[in-house]
Amino acid sequence: MGRGELKIDPRLLDEAREAGLPVERMTEQTLRRALAEYAPYRGLSDEEKARRWAEDNAEAIKAQRERIEAYGVFGEDLRTW
């Protein structure tokens, strides 16, 4: 498949167009949304990616640290070293 070519079930496209859906705009919006969700750090340096990831996940990291302080590490009682 060359650049700019998409394969979509023709029956699905016909159904969407008959329903009045703006298929081309929906496709572009969906791709933009997916890229933002799955590649939010695209184009950044490794250092900037790490910094942004840490900022984005700071709350979860803090909660995990607090959980470990309160309850310890899972399976710690089974460790033999």
Residues 4 and 21 reside in one and the same domain: yes
Structural domain tally of the chain?
2
Residue 61 to residues 13, 39, 43, 69, Cα–Cα distance (Å):
44, 21, 25, 12
Residues 48 and 29 reside in one and the same domain: no
Residues 25 and 52 reside in one and the same domain: no
Taking phi over 0 as left and psi of -120 to 50 as alpha, with beta for the rest, 75 belongs to left
Whether pLDDT at 4 is above 80: no
Residues 68 and 53 reside in one and the same domain: yes
What integer pLDDT is reported at residue 2 of this predicted model? 60
Give the alpha-carbon dihedral of 2, 26, 23, 12, to 10 degrees. Answer: 80
Six-digit token string for 40: 């939010």
Question: Which range of residues forms the domain containing residue 78?
Answer: 44-81
What integer pLDDT is reported at residue 27 of this predicted model? 87
What integer pLDDT is reported at residue 21 of this predicted model? 93
In tens, the pLDDT along 25-76 reads 888 899 888 888 888 888 889 999 999 999 999 999 999 999 999 999 988 8
Residues 12 and 30 reside in one and the same domain: yes
Q: Taking a C-beta distance cutoff of 8 angstroms, is the pair 71, 77 a contact?
A: no
In this structure, the chain runs to a length of 81
What integer pLDDT is reported at residue 16 of this predicted model? 93
Residues 51 and 34 reside in one and the same domain: no
